[in-house]
Structure 1
């Protein structure tokens, strides 16, 4: 008997490949780790693909975005078009979402995003964000995929920081109507829409699943379902839906708040995320990335520029915002740029920023800014800050801002906004 052969497609930083191979072999499959940099056409000799969890490329930028740009995904697209079963688990699911293999427009811009977790209590108050590990019970709500054709609930681990399936209201209706939700949480751990734990492509052969069925035997029904699929694949009824995804419109940017003081923070050593995106975009030393903190001071309209500088300097010196041993700091206040010098003071910037070639990406739900504001209000007596925002500042090659405000540097369609000077 020729047993089905499943590739466990692994990228630098994935760390669940051994458990995934074991779970597949326990069901009778032939399975092996397939490294991302092997000849892509070799992947087509396999009957199915599972992309395991982990932290590929250190989750630089957004989880899964860098891996999804690798050439091997062109082969995955071809295989998906021929009904090959493909399962992405956790980080693998993030890659499938970012690649557009689950749901995208004609330009391959994803129609789904996986955003930071948002845990809430019964009153709707946020009690936690970011990475979360727990066990959750899942229910299969769509039997028309190779991975979900079973009735029993499964109790398996979750371990992720960006696992909240998010769509525009229009696409939410499409996903529900076309039955693209595959598994749902009995008790939602991350704020995912409709309690979604896994979503499939319209055909149903590609599934992005955030929980980990490979980590214990409770998840065996997922792999047993795949085994049963191969026993009668020709007669298996896939989801086979058609979903209309409108092409992503031009990005609408917002002007920065004129009252906002901008503090940009850059590593003194090489920024790995910056260099990684240069490689992804085919650039060489042409990007510049900084973390951006924005401050609205209390009673700002009554304060002079010198008073504002003094208050921000106190925050910088506190060490709560930046590590001055590792990071450079510049600030824009009242229309002027300032450098932080070796005398622990701000001085006017000697070189000017070209604000025509830069932009700032901010989350619509700015948990990091909220968290920092709450922290500073506790640790700094008489904290002068009314509001804090966080984002990523990108400086791009001259006259190419529109070209590079794209899916790589910007989580398009949902989740983020662009701000310009």
Structure 2
């Protein structure tokens, strides 16, 4: 909201009539305020999610950058400051009417490896793994509905994934991270009900479970510091829950 009031909202997701509708597919990724691109206060640095290089309509962006450089605009330095707030993960309360599927990977999880490498560079002696979490609420014959969902292959790829369980190890904490606007869950629900014509799915939620094992240092302190890096989730667009 502060960036919007400072006129730092460069592009927003909208429909063909220019209306900023905060729903999929107009807003494809759940961006707050439909923001697709923002700039710094000086207006000379822009960050954006869409790829203008993939369409001729994006040429204006690059030509304006070229013009800015060629006209000799001066480069100025500005000190940046940011007070990262401390985040407390609430305890996860499972939906008693839903079935939970925890999905593990057979192959190497490159995303988990990247997060571990980043935390290694910050000096944390930890091990980390990632699982996909599905919460499936059904109506009627739940077992039959779950079997139909399983056969579609929509919620996991049996060639490289399998249904597992949450991790329970010493010195390990598990955090469930969910997008506030669960676009993937909504898209999968639509596919299961419309494409595969499976009736009886009341609700479908997707999340990611991060399992963090602390190998050295104070367990609680290390976990709090890792949460405060926001490397596991973005508190502006995600919700984070402590599982164990």
Partner of 1:199: 38
Give the alignment's TM-score, normalised by structure 1. 0.43
| Runs (5+) with no aligned partner, structure 1 | 1-171, 300-306, 332-336, 338-351
**Whole-angstrom distance in 2 between the partners of 1:271 and 1:367:** 22
Structure 1 pair 385–286 and aligned structure 2 pair: CA distance change class (3 A): same
Tell me, what secondary structure is at the counterpart of 1:408? coil
Tell me, what secondary structure is at the counterpart of 1:223? helix
Deviation at 1:269, TM superposition (A): 1.3
Deviations 1:182-239 (A, max 9, x none): 5678936854666755422234443324563797554413321232243xx38xxx8x
Q: Tell me whether 1:358 sits opposite 2:201 in the alignment.
A: no
**Whole-angstrom distance in 1 between the partners of 2:11 and 2:197:** 48
Structure 1 pair 183–284 and aligned structure 2 pair: CA distance change class (3 A): same
RMSD of equivalent CA atoms: 3.8
Deviations 1:53-98 (A, max 9, x none): xxxxxxxxxxxxxxxxxxxxxxxxxxxxxxxxxxxxxxxxxxxxxx
- Kept in 2, the 8 Å contact 1:255–1:420? The answer is yes
Deviation at 1:410, TM superposition (A): 0.7
**Whole-angstrom distance in 1 between the partners of 2:238 and 2:40:** 23
What pairs with 1:30-69 in structure 2 (closer than 5 Å)?
A: none
- Kept in 2, the 8 Å contact 1:180–1:201? The answer is yes
Q: Tell me whether 1:256 sits opposite 2:93 in the alignment.
A: yes
Partner of 1:417: 239
Question: 2:202 aligned to 358, 382, 386, which one?
Answer: 386
Greater RCO (CA < 8 Å, at least 6 residues apart): 2
What pairs with 1:75-90 in structure 2 (closer than 5 Å)?
A: none
Tell me, what secondary structure is at the counterpart of 1:402? helix
**Whole-angstrom distance in 2 between the partners of 1:264 and 1:329:** 6
Partner of 1:370: 186
Question: 1:326 aligned to 143, 147, 160, which one?
Answer: 160
Deviations 1:362-391 (A, max 9, x none): 000101111111222235565342111011
What pairs with 1:151-166 in structure 2 (closer than 5 Å)?
A: none
Q: Tell me whether 1:298 sits opposite 2:145 in the alignment.
A: no
Give the alignment's TM-score, normalised by structure 2. 0.69
Structure with higher Rg: it is 1
**Whole-angstrom distance in 2 between the partners of 1:322 and 1:185:** 29
- Kept in 2, the 8 Å contact 1:188–1:195? The answer is no
**Whole-angstrom distance in 2 between the partners of 1:183 and 1:319:** 36
Question: 1:267 aligned to 105, 111, 120, which one?
Answer: 105
Partner of 2:146: 312
**Whole-angstrom distance in 1 between the partners of 2:168 and 2:39:** 44
| Runs (5+) with no aligned partner, structure 2 | 21-25
What pairs with 1:137-156 in structure 2 (closer than 5 Å)?
A: none
Deviation at 1:256, TM superposition (A): 3.0
Deviations 1:153-198 (A, max 9, x none): xxxxxxxxxxxxxxxxxxx1x2233333356789368546667554
Question: Number of paired residues?
Answer: 215
Deviations 1:396-421 (A, max 9, x none): 01434433334111113x11001233
